[in-house]
Structure 1
Amino acid sequence: MVLPSSRAPIVNQLVVYKVGSADEVYGKTGIAHFLEHMMFKGTGTVGPTEFSRIVSKNGGRDNAYTSFDTTGYYQTVAPDRLEMVMRMEADRMANLRITEKELIPERQVVLEERRMRTENSPAALLGEAVQEQLYGRHKPYGMPISGYVDDVKKLSVHDLAAFYAKWYMPNNAILIVAGDTTADQVRKLAEKHYGPIPQRKVDPRRRPGEGASDLPQRVTRADARVAEPRWSRYYLAPSYHKGESQYAYALEVLARLLGGGETSRLWNNLVVDRKIALSAWASYSPSSLGLTSFDLGVHPAAGTPIVEIESAVGGLLGKLLDDGVTAEEVERAQNQLLAAAIYSQDSLQSGPRIYGGALGVGGTVADIDAWPQRIAAVTPAAVVAAARHVWRADGLVTSVLTPQEGMR
């Protein structure tokens, strides 16, 4: 996939592997993320940590990420350095060396990263508890991307090598290059460097078609590090690829209409009119191989009880289901979504990530190209029908983050 842009003399290469933490099994969680770290530990021709050092010496920058469904590696360099990073990326796709010498210290780096990003963040810890309750304990999406600490401590060279051999191959990867180049140039370089790497059989990826069996649930975390409470709710929802996917586009419009900024229903009612909240939001991301969630949350104003927030939100959701939404609201939400998509695709970083995220879970370029038309076709009736499908008591988790002394 090539996204040409001559706005600046730079290019961005992104390689997305169709594997993420949701492809792990309990007992070996965290392996996708750990392998992401080990991908920087060298091959027969590039020494440990040399990959990033070479990119930096050539004026570029690089990084990587692991999600539930995909793992990505990207570099931003001058156009005449594209072949260099493509050669190195192809090299570690086929020839990664995983050794005990590099694994042992990197395990500590991985665990420290988890301590900093998750264990030092009450909100992140609560988020992991919500995922587990919503999708099910030890189920895909119910286990943390960084893995359970006890699992990470036991992962071996053999475990990582087996995971690498199972998933890292050209026919399980997507190459996206954006920037000051052409499709013909990229094709020639890709055929030269990725083409010779042998393809192998890829196991099908599976995701459950349902969430946890004991919903609804409520998760509360009281923590001395929390200064002000937060209230959130998460509803199991279909994605583009799992569940009643015909509701996906309407749910995107619904999330924007309900909680997509300072013109949304939640914000106007709770923040502006009633002044019981400092902020309010809703979100929905359908680019998932399995089910996803429709989320909403509120930062209560000082002195506002959580129970009042919960009652107010419940009233707003009920009113939307009973009275519907206006054509003007839907049109405004559609315009906001379309504008945001245009801006994001214009970026050398976010544009490839959008395509990589979609293609990495089975979407097509045609799906991405048709997205504006599908969003524009959503009607007020479709928005209400989508809300009615998702906002069910047997598919939700409510979460409360509160200071140590208890809910205010």
Structure 2
Amino acid sequence: MRRRTALGGLFAGALLTPRASALAGLLRVNRRPSDTFTLPNGLQAVVLPSSRAPIVTQVLVYKVGSADETFGKTGIAHFLEHMMFKGTGVLAPTEFSRTIARNGGRDNAFTGFDMTGYHQTIVSDRLELVMRMEADRMVNLRILDGELRPERQVVLEERRMRVDNVPSEMLDEAVREQLFGLHKPYAMPTAGYADDVKKLGVNDLSAFYRRFYAPNNAVLIVAGDTTAAAVQKLAEKYYGPIPSRRVAPRQRPAEGGTDLPQRVIRADERVPEPRWNRDYLAPSYRTGETRHAHALMVLTRLFGGSETSRLSRALVAQDKIALSATSGYGPTALGLTTFEIAVQPARGRSVAEVETAVGDQMKRVLDGGVTAEEVERAQNQLLASAIYSQDSLASGPRLYGNALSTGGSIAELDNWPQAIAAVRPDDVVAAARHVWRDEGAVTSMLTPAGGWK
């Protein structure tokens, strides 16, 4: 079903120096080389140099996503993402991607709850080309009815394919409506409700574009075979002349849905085997009891982050109750986020058996049964992932974009390994006690048409 990243906002930090004997076994993570600058118009830029291959990746992230929409006009952020490829006064429709392909590169885009991003990977001597085109559509996009009407059908078909035809995604929508509150920012789907998308017009998308697509509401990340000086020179040339625009502060609720806990069940003939989930409202790096965020990352890793975690060992390896048992948590949301526990039961196992087994493992944590050894093991897994991510031209820029588009800073990214290393068993227990509460939970079940037998 749903999976939250367990590594949101990690990225390399300052060289770790053990501060006590308990940290003697922790991995050491060197700070990833990076440079940053901000143009006079407010565009923030990050350069992540790497000479491993003669290619570069440009990612432009706008600080806007589906959670910035209003009920009745959902799906507008994602629809606009599609229209960004439909031409400007300089580029004809689809010419952006065709130009990149002709030059041996590839490009794509994504829309999330809190951010919208556009990225290209291409040989390094074509960086000027992609920067020029990306800057052009930041300010000169043409949204025409002749392009919008056929693209609407593409957007609706994407929703049918990725949501309406996927039972787990339909259940996810229902869960989020309960967990965050009907019609609230994180309850409304990124793809939008179909009836809303059908009504969106040129004026709606144009107003959204003018409201949010501005250099002072964007972050530019360039990774690969280049230098900070080269990127800054190009950025000043192409992004620099674009004027800034007033952008209102974004708002996110500091509370979730009412009348929790809730239980949501979806039975569907397309589901071969049942699945069980429990989602809890949780603080992020920005909203709620943020002091628990790093401890929650350690908690999700030791509780259900791998085959050696508590859930998997107990439910899968030992008691054979489940085929898989995991947990997930993503802290980079601008508002509240979720802590998820997911179980795929073994054939013949009942709902009661699954819930009793999960509850038993949770109780062991809540009662204080967290050891320094398993915390250190979880920390090392997280720190190792930080090391591996430094080699990626995809995950590296995306992590910076996630953090900087939701109020984070370079300093926080640099200090992330130290924050993870500082988590102690008592911190993990305190975080679990704060989040694992009935008044912040939605339990959901995805079952075959005949129910869970």
Q: Does 1:115 align with 2:160?
A: yes
Q: Deviations over 1:132-178 (max 9, x none)?
A: 11000000100000001000000000000000000001000000000
Q: 1:341 offset after TM fit, Å?
A: 1.8
Structure 1: state its 5+ residue gaps.
none
Q: 1:315 offset after TM fit, Å?
A: 1.1
Q: Which residue of 1 is the match for residue 5 of structure 2?
A: none
Q: Which residue of 1 is the match for residue 441 of structure 2?
A: 396
Q: Does 1:97 align with 2:147?
A: no
1:105-184 superposed matches below 5 A: 105-184=150-229
**Structure 1 CA distance for aligned equivalents of residues 173 and 209 of structure 2:** 26
Alignment match of 2:429 (pick from 371, 384, 388) = 384
Q: Which residue of 1 is the match for residue 420 of structure 2?
A: 375
The one-letter amino acid paired with 2:134 is E
Segments ≥4 residues shifted beyond 2 Å: none
Q: Which residue of 1 is the match for residue 336 of structure 2?
A: 291
**Contact 2:368–2:426 under 8 Å retained in 1:** no
Question: What SS does the corresponding residue of 1:303 show, helix, strand or coil?
Answer: coil
**Contact 2:276–2:344 under 8 Å retained in 1:** yes
The one-letter amino acid paired with 1:128 is E
Question: What SS does the corresponding residue of 1:279 show, helix, strand or coil?
Answer: strand
**Structure 2 CA distance for aligned equivalents of residues 77 and 186 of structure 1:** 14
TM-score w.r.t. length of structure 1 = 0.99
1:238-317 superposed matches below 5 A: 238-317=283-362
Question: What SS does the corresponding residue of 1:262 show, helix, strand or coil?
Answer: coil
**Contact 1:4–1:181 under 8 Å retained in 2:** yes
Q: 1:319 offset after TM fit, Å?
A: 1.5
Q: Deviations over 1:225-271 (max 9, x none)?
A: 00000000000000000000000000000000000111100000000
Question: What SS does the corresponding residue of 1:33 show, helix, strand or coil?
Answer: helix
The one-letter amino acid paired with 2:338 is S
**Contact 2:100–2:122 under 8 Å retained in 1:** yes
Q: Deviations over 1:187-223 (max 9, x none)?
A: 0000000000010101100000000011101010000
Q: Which residue of 2 is the match for residue 43 of structure 1?
A: 88
1:317-396 superposed matches below 5 A: 317-396=362-441
Q: Which residue of 1 is the match for residue 112 of structure 2?
A: 67
Alignment match of 1:20 (pick from 35, 40, 65) = 65
Q: Does 1:53 align with 2:81?
A: no
Question: What SS does the corresponding residue of 1:207 show, helix, strand or coil?
Answer: coil
Q: Which residue of 1 is the match for residue 252 of structure 2?
A: 207
Q: 1:323 offset after TM fit, Å?
A: 3.6
Alignment match of 1:228 (pick from 261, 273, 277) = 273
Q: 1:327 offset after TM fit, Å?
A: 0.3
The one-letter amino acid paired with 1:35 is L
The one-letter amino acid paired with 2:287 is K
**Contact 1:324–1:381 under 8 Å retained in 2:** no
**Contact 1:114–1:146 under 8 Å retained in 2:** yes
Q: Deviations over 1:299-320 (max 9, x none)?
A: 1001111221011101110111
Q: 1:37 offset after TM fit, Å?
A: 0.1
Alignment match of 2:263 (pick from 169, 194, 218) = 218
**Structure 2 CA distance for aligned equivalents of residues 157 and 323 of structure 1:** 56
**Structure 1 CA distance for aligned equivalents of residues 410 and 387 of structure 2:** 16
**Contact 1:345–1:354 under 8 Å retained in 2:** no
**Contact 2:282–2:435 under 8 Å retained in 1:** yes
**Structure 1 CA distance for aligned equivalents of residues 228 and 417 of structure 2:** 24
**Contact 1:234–1:293 under 8 Å retained in 2:** yes
Structure 2: state its 5+ residue gaps.
1-45
**Structure 2 CA distance for aligned equivalents of residues 19 and 167 of structure 1:** 7
Q: 1:345 offset after TM fit, Å?
A: 2.9
Q: 1:346 offset after TM fit, Å?
A: 1.8
**Structure 1 CA distance for aligned equivalents of residues 95 and 368 of structure 2:** 61
Q: How many matched pairs?
A: 408
**Structure with more of its chain in helix, by fraction:** 1
Q: 1:356 offset after TM fit, Å?
A: 0.3
**Contact 2:78–2:190 under 8 Å retained in 1:** yes
RMSD: 0.5
Q: 1:127 offset after TM fit, Å?
A: 0.7
**Contact 1:222–1:406 under 8 Å retained in 2:** yes
The one-letter amino acid paired with 2:191 is S
Q: Does 1:198 align with 2:243?
A: yes
The one-letter amino acid paired with 2:227 is T
**Contact 1:223–1:402 under 8 Å retained in 2:** yes
The one-letter amino acid paired with 1:146 is A
The one-letter amino acid paired with 2:274 is P
**Contact 2:300–2:327 under 8 Å retained in 1:** yes
Q: Which residue of 1 is the match for residue 33 of structure 2?
A: none
Instruction: Among all aligned residue pairs of Structure 1 and Structure 2, give the percentage whose two residues are the same amino acid.
Output: 69
Question: What SS does the corresponding residue of 2:149 show, helix, strand or coil?
Answer: helix
The one-letter amino acid paired with 1:105 is P
Taking CA–CA contacts closer than 8 Å with sequence separation of 6 or more, which of the two structures ends up with the larger relative contact order?
Answer: 2
**Structure 2 CA distance for aligned equivalents of residues 163 and 391 of structure 1:** 38
